[in-house]
A and B are shown apart, each in its own frame.
Chain A
Amino acid sequence: MSIAPVLHSVEVKAPPARAFELFTSHMGKWWPKGKTLAPNPHADIVMEPRPGGRWYERDAAGNERQWGKVLAWEPPGRVLLGWQLNGQWRYDPDFLTEVELSFAALAGGGTRVTLEHRNLERYGADAEEYAGKLRGGWPTFVGHFAQYTDNQT
């Protein structure tokens, strides 16, 4: 069974090359504060601009938390990321779901940015280990996230 991917798009005024650049190299500036893995706020979120490059957050003290990796780097139209955060929001090199971003030119000069997060059924396969960890207490981040989702609804 596969689960329908998460699919969203937004339109921005900048042309594709610019939108691509802002999305990938300025992620630390636009990513919502507090919606990251580490207890400290992120100082930057880095996507190393090449296939195989790491994707990670870094706090002001230089501590890093990896999110995943770059699978395909094709400016200005597409970037494919491996989101390697398991159900516990921990980096796991053996776990991977794909996040694909495409940047399509709009008639008015802007860009439609489309995000697809797929392979979500793999969270089912991750569940056993996840459940085992849960018995040792609720991870802080999940608590944070629950609070966040509560505020959304």
Chain B
Amino acid sequence: MTYASAALESLGALGDPTRRAIFERLAAQPSAVVDLARGLPVSRPAVSQHLKVLKEAGLVREISHGTRRIYSLDPRGIGAMRRWLDSHWTSALDAFRQFADEYPEQEPDR
């Protein structure tokens, strides 16, 4: 999968308002399903289903704490967007360095 398409998939998963609400809550604080369901107008199974979609999109990850499963944001998901920009700036700065180093020193500005 390309960086760009991974980024698109991640962002597409956030198109659903409930998933977006879950995502925002997890951004504020890693939580268990029960905690997430408490603050949302949807059932626990529905929250679990949304978490599954977010997990598959690489946006959320799950860590076991004893018997509890704690969900938090997965930096890798949004990382696709970051890598997108990273690759973009790498080539832009490279182009700048080449341009600046070849630019005649004495030429008047503009």
Contact = CB atoms under 8 A, between A and B. Distances in A.
A8 B91 contact: no
A127 B97 contact: no
B20 interface: yes
Interface residues of A, number: 46
4 closest A-B pairs (Cβ-Cβ)? A131-B15, A30-B99, A127-B14, A146-B4
Given A12-B101, A22-B99, A115 B89 contact: yes
Given A22-B103, A120-B85, A124-B27, A10 B94 contact: yes
A124 B27 CA distance: 10
Contacts of B17: 128
B29 to A, nearest CB: 10
Interface of A: 1, 3-4, 6, 8-14, 18-19, 21-23, 25-26, 29-32, 35, 87, 113, 115, 117, 120-121, 123-124, 126-128, 130-132, 134-135, 142, 145-146, 149-150, 152-153
Interface stretch (B31-39, B44-52, B76-84): B76-84
Contacts of A29: 99
Contacts of B65: none
A4 B91 contact: no
A130 B110 CA distance: 39
B85 A6 contact: yes
Given A14-B103, A30-B99, A3 B79 contact: yes
Given A87-B11, A123-B78, A10 B103 contact: no
A91 B12 CA distance: 19
Contacts of A145: 4, 84
Contacts of B73: 1
